[in-house]
Structure 1
Amino acid sequence: MAVEFLSGLHPVTSSGLAPYACHPNQTRGRRFPEPSAPTRSEYQRDRDRIIHSSAFRRLVYKTQVFMNHEGDLFRTRLTHSLEVAQLGRSIGRSLGLNEDLIEAVALAHDLGHTPFGHAGQDVLDECMKPHGGFEHNLQSLRVVDKLELRYPAFDGLNLCFETREGILKHCARRNAELLEAAEPDGVARRFLHGGQPSLEAQLCNLADEVAYNAHDIDDGVRSGLLALEQLEEVPLVHRYLREALSEFPQLDSKRLLFETIRRMLSAQVYDIIDATRAALQQGQGVQDLAAVRAAPALVRFSPEMRAASTELKRFLFAKLYRHPQVQQTRQRADQVLRDLFRIYTSEPAQLPPDFAGAADAPRACADYIAGMTDRFALREHQRLTGFSLF
């Protein structure tokens, strides 16, 4: 295999991918073997299957922070996933990683998220505590492995190992043990025996953080719950806001916000590229995917940017996610999902046929509720209770 260097910074093969990237012709394959496609790589097929799935379309009406009916321009799970994919591909290209795999993981990583954002995750986890709990990462894997019903020969989307591995970025030990028992040496093994996923998966995890920090600032200010003056308390925002004002002193507040976020995003992207390159080149360097899996996490911020990003997350948690208005909406969303779970578990006939006859009735209820959009959950709640909480 021919090897050359991209910009003199890291080796790439003749395919344009670094040796430590995931090469589609070296995938660990699909759970159900299928012939290769004549015009697309295996990871391109995964991306296409995700985009055409029902779960992906539902993301357009699933909350990020603000509910869909609260404004037309707030982010949803769909727009968030697209932003993660864009950031991931941009960074991945500079590192010689597989952009198609990055895109597939980014577009699928929130497929298992509940309606009403993290409020829904917490409520379903509480309701499911006697039945194994609920994790949205595990639910995303469940969606692509089981719940999508599109193909005659198997349930799910039958994605490649590397895509499924990237989707499962967190997993409690008990769930990892169950997955490992069903799929030995599978996607959950690293949670039991150590090791890392691919660099593409690591990158999607970090791009997720970068994306939601940036767009939650934007949505927070747009909603009126955050003010630019408050954001100046955060060093990472303050730095780029001051830079923008220094270069454009007459900038109006809207453009100032956008320019600040743009500069902040660029700084984080370049920081990830530089810090990851340095990590890959330490010692003898990381030469292949096996070395990636055996090493500590390699896709990273510099220590300074990690500290700055963590401080920004603390600010958003205190000032936005815990804002009384957001909390008030969350409390009503909690009630909607608790009522739905209670009704479906006590009256299984209220579930659609695909879910009503399941052997594990509580899990089927959780599957059905997790797949709902915000507005469908509200309609169902009103239909079943006669009350409208929004």
Structure 2
Amino acid sequence: MLQPAPYAADPTKTRGRLHLQPESPGRSAFQRDRDRIIHSSAFRRMKHKTQVFVSVDGDHYRTRLTHSLEVAQIARSIARRLGLDEDLTEALALAHDLGHTAFGHAGEEALSAKMAPWGGFDHNANTIRIVTYLEHRYVPFDGLNLTWETLEGLAKHNGPVSSPPWALAEYVAQHDLELHTFASLEAQVAALSDDIAYNTHDVDDGLRAGLFTIDDLMVVPLVAETWERLRRQYPQAPKERLRPELIRNMVGHLVLDLLGETGRRLERLQPLSADDIRRAGQPVAAFSSAVQPLERELKHFLRTRMYHHYKVQHSTDLAKGVIGDLFDLYLDDPLRMPPEWSSRAAAAAMPDRVRTVADFIAGMTDNFALKELARLTGRQPIEI
């Protein structure tokens, strides 16, 4: 095993947890965080939450859970090569999508629109709300009581946060996560591993769904270069056998580029601690200037040919209606929610009452949301 780099997060020097606890024998503080995330209810619910395709569309498409597992695998591999703390990196990768609603970004857009008068809804901030407040697995405290480093990474893995959403602002008022700085290199690696995973695996799911073909993808240089190399290497192989090779090779290409560019930035910066990474003034983990435009072109193709495809758009439009209707129904009569939620809403003043409704809806899986709408209205806009 490689020696930890001087700029890696050190679990023996963690800034600790909001609620004091003795650490677990035989596990580092970051291993304990990862284990708490895996055993949480929110983590289990991701198996029936949309990544791109509504989860009832088929068994082979990615869900939030399988996507998060793939992100964790990529992130941990990169962390090992860079000498980072693999357990913190894995914890952040596994937890980064906990705050997503049912039906993916469509659900988030619908809930954010309904919540606009009360501060809106943001899935990253909702992840913090889940792990610090909404999970009820321990007697002494709400949430999972994760370390400062894990919470910091979840809050600002995409960079400093100058205008935190209400859910994040509410938490940092009692536990400063230093939102004005960059996050640890472990968090930066987890964030870019997310990009690598969804860019490449959405190509795989889009091909499987028939939204576009290999020939259509030849306008994307990153795909075209990889495909032509594979065709020369395996001239007799049918396209269907080459598709997994295409995805695997694209992942490998992006990982190696990220390692190379991050290594160059580390060489220039010469950081001696994790705090040197936080104070660097720019991201340290990054793709090279040669690959950045290639990655943007791939994202543009997926946005136009997959996320905005009429088949995907039709199901997401229906999904927005499900979330919006449930919000109106529960806000009109909180007793329509289960007792543990309706009693919490009844005891709360505004805006906490409406935020309780949003908490309940944000935690739903695709299937549960559809069943709830059918129970309350008899309507089932998407077949389960």
Residues 23-62 of structure 1: pairs in structure 2 closer than 5 A: 23-62=10-49
Which residue of the partner structure matches residue 254 of structure 1?
240
2:369 corresponds to which of 365, 369, 377: 377
CA separation in 1, counterparts of 2:38 and 2:256? Answer: 29
AA at the equivalent of 2:165: N
Query: CA separation in 2, counterparts of 1:107 and 1:41?
Result: 17
Aligned equivalents of 2:181, 2:335: Cα separation in 1? 44
Instruction: Provide the rounded CA distance (Å) in 2 between the counterparts of 1:145 and 1:132.
Output: 19
Q: 1:306 to 1:160 in 2, by over 3 A?
A: same
Aligned counterpart, 2:325: 339
| Residue number among 178, 202, 208 corresponding to 2:169 in the alignment | 178
Q: What secondary structure, in the 3-state scheme, does the structure 2 residue paired with 1:345 have? A: helix
C-alpha root-mean-square deviation of aligned residues, in Å? 1.4
Structure 1 counterpart of 2:147, from 155, 160, 165: 160
Q: Which residue of 1 aligns with 2:4?
A: 17
Q: Which deviations, in whole Å up to 9, do the C-alpha atoms of 1:147-175 show, x marking residues without a partner? A: 00010000000001111111123556153
Following superposition, the deviation at residue 264 of structure 1 comes to: 0.9
Does 2:62 match 1:72? Answer: no
Question: How far apart, in 2, do the equivalents of 1:383 and 1:293 lie?
Answer: 49
Number of the residue aligned with 1:302: 288
The answer on whether the counterparts of 2:89 and 2:186 sit within 8 Å (CA) in structure 1 is: yes
Aligned AA for 2:278? R
Give 3-state SS (helix, strand or coil) of 2:207's partner: helix
State the Cα distance separating 1:355 from its structure 2 match.
Answer: 2.0
Name the CA shift for 1:159/1:180 in 2 (closer, same or farther; >3 Å): closer
Unaligned runs of 5+ in 1: 1-5, 7-11
Are 1:365 and 2:357 counterparts?
A: yes
| Counterpart residue number, 1:198 | 184
In the alignment, the residues of structure 2 paired with residue 173 and residue 179 of structure 1 have an alpha-carbon distance, to the nearest angstrom, of 12
Q: Distance in 2 between matches of 1:320 and 1:108?
A: 25
Quick one: which of 373, 378, 384 aligns to 1:386? Answer: 378
Contact 2:14 2:149 in 1 (8 A): yes
Structure 1 residues 116, 172: closer, same or farther in 2, change over 3 A?
A: farther
Secondary structure of 2:165 counterpart: helix
TM score, norm. by length of structure 1: 0.93
Separation in 1, partners of 2:338, 2:25: 38
Q: Distance in 2 between matches of 1:347 and 1:180?
A: 28
Identify if the C-alpha distance between structure 1 residues 307 and 333 changes in structure 2 by more than 3 Å, giving closer, same or farther.
same
SS at match of 2:283: coil
**Stretch of structure 1 that moved more, 274-283 or 215-224:** 274-283
Instruction: Report the AA paired with residue 96 of structure 1.
Output: G
State the AA in 1 paired with 2:181. G
Q: Identify the residue that residue 281 of structure 1 maps to in structure 2.
A: 267
| Partner Cα distance (1:220, 1:197) in 2 | 32
Residue of structure 2 equivalent to 1:235: 221
* Aligned equivalents of 2:268, 2:287: Cα separation in 1: 15
Under a length normalisation based on structure 2, what TM-score does the superposition of the two structures give?
A: 0.94
3-state DSSP of counterpart to 2:302: helix
Distance 1:174 1:109 in 2: 17
Code of the residue aligned with 1:363 in structure 2: it is R
Cα shift readout 1:200-238 (whole Å, capped 9, x = no counterpart): 001111000000001100000000111101111100000
Unaligned runs of at least 5 residues, structure 2: none
Structure 1 distance, partners of 2:336, 2:308, is 34
Shift of 1:181: 5.7
Given that 2:220 and 2:297 are in contact with CA atoms closer than 8 Å, whether structure 1 keeps it comes out as yes
Q: Could you tell me how far apart the structure 2 residues matched to 1:388 and 1:38 are? A: 50
What does the per-residue CA deviation read over 1:308-346, in whole Å, with 9 as the maximum and x for residues that have no partner?
A: 111100110000000000000011001100000000001
- Offset of residue 361 of structure 1: 1.2
Change (3 A) 1:60 1:181: closer
User: What is the match of residue 9 of structure 1?
Assistant: none
State which of 97, 105, 112 in structure 2 corresponds to 1:118: 105
Please tell me whether residue 312 in structure 1 is matched to residue 298 in structure 2. yes
Separation of aligned partners in 1, 2:301 and 2:379: 35
C-alpha distance in 2 between matches for 1:178 and 1:120:
22
| Alpha carbons 2:122, 2:165 under 8 Å: kept | no
Instruction: Tell me what 2:122 maps to.
Output: 135
CA gap of 1:78–1:234, structure 2 versus 1, over 3 A, is same
Percent identity over the alignment is: 47
Alignment partner for residue 81 of structure 2, among 59, 70, 94?
94
SS of alignment partner, residue 290 of structure 2: helix
Following TM superposition, by how much is the alpha carbon of 1:304 offset from its aligned partner in structure 2, in angstroms? 1.0
